[in-house]
Amino acid sequence: MDLEITPPRALKGEVRVPGDKSISHRAVMLGALAEGDTCIENFLMGADCLATVRCLSALGASFTGPDDQGRLTVHGRGAGALREPEDVLDAGNSGTTMRLLLGILAGLPFFSVITGDASLRRRPMKRVTGPLSMMGADIRGRQEGNLAPLAVRGGTLQGMEYTSPVASAQVKSALLLAGLLAAGRTSVSEPALSRDHTERMLQYFGAAVHRTGCTTRITGGQTLQARPVTVPGDISSAAFLMVAAAVVPGSAVTIREVGVNPTRDGIVQVLKEMGADIEIFNIHEQSGEPVADIRVRHSRLRGVTVTGALIPRLIDEIPVLAVAGALAEGELVVRDAAELKVKESNRIATVAVELKKFGVDIQELPDGLQVRGGRPLTGARCASHGDHRIAMAMTVAGMAARGKTVIQGAECVDVSFPGFDGILASLRVE
């Protein structure tokens, strides 16, 4: 599917974005492990989270809905009620589905095989299968258990202390979920703090989880008690609208009920440092997560340098941040972000290749990007590379460019932001 963008028009109005992808995955997984009914409001009905629902159903979890209000209910009967799947589990394009489920499968006493689409079958899984094997799971796959399809014989796990070489919430979450099903205590240390939705939701479901610095601990054998979950709007989806409003003259957009968890709000901090006019207000808590309204108005931006502990706080927003950098004065530099190479596409390469088509002066760095901003953008014919965030970032570039932009392969947007083009259209004023 091609998406056509004809700029420039200001963006004005108030919107909500679909539910947070990370939190939606966790809500159904913890709901399936818990005892009782977990009623989920604003669950993200995107392809990735639906892959998680399908995998959990194949493991024997039962669901009702979505009802006419969009509520999805998981009928949990505890981890012990999950059973050996009859067929291969398919995580589709979703790294979160595969990595977090591996943590659960490692702790369950049966055989399973999990695979995904061509992109996911190229992504590194050893970061999860390595430590899970050390805990006692038997996991086999290509490249010594690095690439899916992966075959898991789970069962008796022993908790352990693990230091992860990467700041990855998927690694941390897989080990915490395995730790919940293991004997004794599991602790995971990471080089910088990654998103903490798993820890928050485990606590919300009644489990004790402790964090000191960048080390998180859980003791096995705790039972989870089902509770209703309202999923906040996804800040990673809101980021496309935030950057669009910041760079398109005349814009003023309010995005309601967005998750503003401090492990996820790096994009707000960096856009503010770049000179963006952003207000965060109506801050409140929902199902253990902070939520707020975000108002963004057009303003002049300047380039900044983004490195270190900030990177995991905005890792998924770097493609659209590069677009903001292209439209800013001066230079935007992103470093310490080599993880971008192993996302749904190699995002260092795909961002650079696609933004060059708009006339942007952008260089690939071994661990990031360098963007020299300030040149006017000209509309381009772009490829999504099957990567939802590349498709949406290039849409934002197209909104600020002169002439027409076409995004080829834009159907992948459905992975995280169903209704993206409709929401954009509702904000654009003539």
Interface with ligand S3P by CB under 6 A: which residues? 22, 96, 168-170, 173, 194-195, 315-316, 339
**386 annotated ligand-binding residue:** no
Closer to ligand S3P by Cβ: residue 73 or 94: 94
**168 annotated ligand-binding residue:** yes
Residue 403: CB minimum distance to ligand S3P, A: 32
**347 annotated ligand-binding residue:** yes
Residue 172: CB minimum distance to ligand S3P, A: 7
408: left (phi over 0), alpha (psi -120 to 50) or beta: beta
DSSP secondary structure letters along 366-407: TTEEEEE--SPPB--EEE-TT-HHHHHHHHHHHHTSBS-EEE
Closer to ligand S3P by Cβ: residue 22 or 186: 22
In a 13 Å sphere around the CA of 59, the CA atoms on its Cβ side amount to: 33
Closer to ligand S3P by Cβ: residue 166 or 353: 166
Q: Which residue has the tokens 């949406």?
A: 392
Residue 312: CB minimum distance to ligand S3P, A: 6
Residue 389: CB minimum distance to ligand S3P, A: 8
Angle value at C-alpha 23, between 22 and 26, nearest 5 degrees: 90
Please pick, among 90, 316, 387, 414, the residue that the annotation labels catalytic. 316
Residue 234: CB minimum distance to ligand S3P, A: 10
Catalytic site residue 2?
no
Closer to ligand S3P by Cβ: residue 169 or 348: 169
**16 annotated ligand-binding residue:** no
Residue 388: CB minimum distance to ligand S3P, A: 10
Closer to ligand S3P by Cβ: residue 337 or 424: 337
Q: How far apart are the first and last CA of the chain?
A: 25
**26 annotated ligand-binding residue:** yes
Angle value at C-alpha 324, between 322 and 326, nearest 5 degrees: 70
**CB environment 390-428: b (16+ within 10 A), e (fewer):** bbbbbbbbbbbbeeebbbebbebbbbbbbebbebbeebb
Please tell me the distance from the alpha carbon of residue 408 to that of residue 397, in angstroms, as a whole number: 14
**316 annotated ligand-binding residue:** yes
Partners of residue 112 on adjacent β-strands? 152
Closer to ligand S3P by Cβ: residue 120 or 304: 120
Please tell me the distance from the alpha carbon of residue 218 to that of residue 185, in angstroms, as a whole number: 6
Handedness of CA 219, 224, 230, 231 (dihedral sign): positive
**141 annotated ligand-binding residue:** no
At 129 the three-state DSSP class reads helix
**CB environment 17-56: b (16+ within 10 A), e (fewer):** bbbbbbbbbbbbbbbbbbbbebbbbbbbbbbbbbbbbbbb
Q: Which two tokens stand for residue 90?
A: 């398919």
**Annotated binding-site ranges:** 21-22, 26, 95, 123, 168, 170, 316, 343, 347, 389
- Cite the annotated binding site for phosphoenolpyruvate by residue number: 21, 95, 123, 170, 347, 389
User: What residues are labeled active site?
Assistant: 316
Annotated binding-site residues for 3-phosphoshikimate read 21-22, 26, 168, 170, 316, 343
